[in-house]
Structure 1
Amino acid sequence: MNVEKNIVTDTISDLFALQSGGPKYRALSAALRQGIDEGKLPKGTRLPPVRELAWRLGMTPGTVARAYTALTDEAVLVAEVGRGTFVSGRPDTKPSLYFSTAKSITEDGHEMVSLFTARLPDLGQVALIQKGFEQISQTPATSLLDYPSAASYAPARQAVVDWLAHVPLGALHHEDVVLSHGAQSGLSLVMQAVLRGRRPVVMVEELAYPGYRRAAELLRADIVSVPMDQHGIVPGALAELAQRHEGQLLCTSPELHNPTSIVTSPERRREIADVSLKCGFDILEDDSTFLGASRAESYRALLPDTGWFVSSISKTLTPALRIGFAVAPQARRTDLRRTAENGFFGLSRPLADLTRYLLTLPDTEAIVGAVRQRNAAYVRETVNVLGGFDLGWNEHSPFAWLRLPEGWRAAAFCLAAEARGVQVRPAEDFASRHAYAPHAIRIGMNAQVPMPDFQAALQRLRELLDNPPERMQA
Structure 2
Amino acid sequence: MTSSPKSNDWTRSIASIAGPRYLAIVKAVELALDTGDLRPGDRLPPQRDLAKKVGVNIGTVSRAYAMMRDSGVTSGEVGRGTFLQEPAGVDGPSSLWERSAPRSFIDLSHSFPDEAPVHPAAAEILREWHADIDIPSLLARQIDAGLRRHRAIGAHWLSRFGLECGPDDVMITCGGQHGLLLAMAALSRAGDVVMTEELAFYGLKSAAGMMGRQLVSVRMDREGLMPQYLDIVCRRTGAKVLFCTPTLHNPTTAIMSLERRHEILEVCRRHDVTIVEDDVWNFMLDTPAVPFAALDPDRTVYVTSFSKIIGPGLRVGLLRMPRHAQHALGVALRATTLMASAVTTEHVVRLLTSKSIETVIAALRTEARARQAILTGIISERHLITRPEAYYAWLKLTNGWSAEAFVREAHKRDVGITPFTVFEVSSLNHSDGIRICINGARDRSTLETALHRLRTLLLDETPRVL
Q: TM-score, normalised by structure 1?
A: 0.75
CA drift of 1:133 comes to: 7.2
SS in 2 for 1:67: coil
Q: Which runs of 5+ in 1 are unaligned?
A: 1-20, 29-50, 69-94, 106-110
Indicate yes or no: 2:231 matched with 1:239.
yes
- The structure-2 alpha-carbon separation of the partners of 1:59 and 1:464, relative to structure 1 and needing over 3 Å to count, comes to closer
Contact 2:393-2:435 within 8 A present in 1 as well: yes
Deviations 1:73-97 (A, max 9, x none): xxxxxxxxxxxxxxxxxxxxxx953
Indicate yes or no: 2:364 matched with 1:371.
yes
Could you tell me which residue of structure 2 aligns to residue 389 of structure 1? Answer: 382
CA drift of 1:441 comes to: 0.2
Contact 1:166-1:293 within 8 A present in 2 as well: no
Which residue of the other structure, out of 125, 147, 159, is the alignment partner of 2:142?
147
Matches of residues 244-393 of structure 1 in structure 2 within 5 Å? 244-290=236-282, 291-393=284-386
Alpha carbon RMSD of aligned pairs, Å? 3.0
Could you tell me which residue of structure 2 aligns to residue 17 of structure 1? Answer: none
Matched to 2:156, the amino acid is D
- The structure-2 alpha-carbon separation of the partners of 1:180 and 1:400, relative to structure 1 and needing over 3 Å to count, comes to same
SS in 2 for 1:358: helix
Matched to 2:139, the amino acid is L
Which residue of the other structure, out of 226, 230, 239, is the alignment partner of 2:222?
230
Aligned length: 392
Indicate yes or no: 2:57 matched with 1:63.
no
Indicate yes or no: 2:455 matched with 1:457.
no
Deviations 1:371-420 (A, max 9, x none): 22111111111111113432111111110001101321111111111111
- The structure-2 alpha-carbon separation of the partners of 1:143 and 1:408, relative to structure 1 and needing over 3 Å to count, comes to closer
CA drift of 1:294 comes to: 5.0
Which residue of the other structure, out of 128, 152, 155, is the alignment partner of 1:161?
155
Which residue of the other structure, out of 115, 122, 125, is the alignment partner of 1:125?
122
Could you tell me which residue of structure 1 aligns to residue 80 of structure 2? Answer: none
Matches of residues 16-95 of structure 1 in structure 2 within 5 Å? 60-67=65-72
Deviations 1:128-169 (A, max 9, x none): 358637733x42x3542343465x611111222222222122
- The structure-2 alpha-carbon separation of the partners of 1:228 and 1:433, relative to structure 1 and needing over 3 Å to count, comes to closer
Deviations 1:2-47 (A, max 9, x none): xxxxxxxxxxxxxxxxxxx8899x979xxxxxxxxxxxxxxxxxxx
d(CA) in 1 for partners of 2:123, 2:183: 30
Matched to 2:154, the amino acid is V
Indicate yes or no: 2:166 matched with 1:173.
yes
- The structure-2 alpha-carbon separation of the partners of 1:448 and 1:367, relative to structure 1 and needing over 3 Å to count, comes to farther
SS in 1 for 2:172: strand
Q: TM-score, normalised by structure 2?
A: 0.77
Q: Which runs of 5+ in 2 are unaligned?
A: 1-32, 42-57, 74-92
Identity of aligned residues (%): 27
Could you tell me which residue of structure 2 aligns to residue 104 of structure 1? Answer: 102
- The structure-2 alpha-carbon separation of the partners of 1:402 and 1:126, relative to structure 1 and needing over 3 Å to count, comes to same
Contact 2:182-2:333 within 8 A present in 1 as well: yes
CA drift of 1:435 comes to: 2.6
CA drift of 1:326 comes to: 1.2
d(CA) in 2 for partners of 1:247, 1:287: 22
Could you tell me which residue of structure 1 aligns to residue 24 of structure 2? Answer: none
Contact 2:128-2:351 within 8 A present in 1 as well: no
Deviations 1:293-337 (A, max 9, x none): 455421112222211111111112111111111111244334333
CA drift of 1:187 comes to: 0.4
- The structure-2 alpha-carbon separation of the partners of 1:317 and 1:452, relative to structure 1 and needing over 3 Å to count, comes to same
- The structure-2 alpha-carbon separation of the partners of 1:143 and 1:208, relative to structure 1 and needing over 3 Å to count, comes to closer
